[in-house]
């Protein structure tokens, strides 16, 4: 089983913070099976957050998620750790409400790096169906690979986050 995770612009724009988030993700026993850096169009963002279309925060969420680059990740639990990757990623993220999270779950990603309820580090699928739907928006095929040679290495992820910055 896998999950879909999306790192939002306020994290991706700052490579050193993004790397810290990725390191915490790997330390929590989640492995990256696919990764893609992109900037969403309004139409793509609308598909991603279609479930929130009638909510008061929808426009703010769409404006934010299209304001800069995002990194889409497909995650699975490591062989030795097992468990549900959807639940593990959502627990690592922490509750959506950042102010409350800072007190209730300060070691979560949102507790450590979240700025507001919208600028809250990332997004996580909440069910197997949303994993399939959301992954399909970012990755060419819904068939995940079991081939370790096709998975991004830590070096690949570093390059994805830092790009040419580390060569300067």
Q: Determine, yes or no, domain membership for 158.
A: no
Evaluate whether residue 106 is within a structural domain.
no
Residue with tokens 């008061």: 56
H-type alpha helices, the chain:
9-12, 15-27, 42-48, 58-65, 85-93, 98-104, 109-113, 128-138, 154-162
- The DSSP code for 59 is H
The sign of the torsion formed by the CA atoms of 51, 56, 62, 68 equals: negative
Asked if the structure places residue 109 within a domain, the reply is no
Lookup: tokens for 150: 């096709």
Could you list the residue range(s) of the whole structural domain that residue 86 is in?
A: 2-93+123-145
Number of independent structural domains in the chain: 1
123 catalytically annotated: yes
Residues flagged as binding site:
8, 57, 90, 96, 110, 120
Which residue in the list 52, 64, 123, 166 is annotated as catalytic?
Answer: 123
pLDDT tens figures, 65-103:
999 999 999 999 976 667 999 999 999 999 999 888 989
Q: Is the pLDDT of residue 151 over 90?
A: no
What tens digit of pLDDT does each residue of 5-15 get?
999 999 999 99
Kindly report the pTM of this predicted structure: 0.89
Q: Which residues are annotated as a binding site for ATP?
A: 8, 57, 90, 96, 110, 120
Residue 99 located in a structural domain: no
Query: Strand 70-77 to strand 122-124: parallel, antiparallel, or no bridges (unpaired)?
Result: unpaired
- 88 assigned to some structural domain: yes
Is residue 77 in some structural domain? yes
The domain that contains 132 carries what CATH number? Answer: 3.30.70.141
């Amino acid at each position: 089983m896998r999950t879909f995770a999306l790192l939002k612009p306020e994290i991706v724009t700052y490579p050193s913070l993004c790397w810290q988030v990725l390191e915490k993700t790997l330390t929590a026993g989640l492995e990256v099976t696919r990764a893609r850096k992109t900037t969403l169009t309004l139409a793509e963002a609308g598909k991603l957050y279609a479930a929130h279309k009638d909510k008061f925060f929808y426009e703010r969420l769409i404006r934010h998620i299209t304001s800069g680059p995002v990194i889409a990740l497909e995650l699975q639990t490591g062989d030795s750790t097992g468990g549900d990757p959807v639940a593990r990623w959502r627990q690592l993220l922490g509750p959506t409400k950042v102010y409350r999270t800072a007190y209730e779950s300060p070691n979560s990603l949102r507790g450590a790096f979240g700025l507001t309820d919208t600028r809250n580090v990332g997004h996580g699928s909440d069910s197997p169906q949303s994993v399939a739907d959301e992954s399909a928006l970012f990755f060419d095929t819904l068939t995940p690979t079991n081939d370790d040679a096709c998975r991004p290495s830590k070096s690949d992820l570093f390059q994805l986050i830092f790009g040419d910055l580390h060569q300067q």
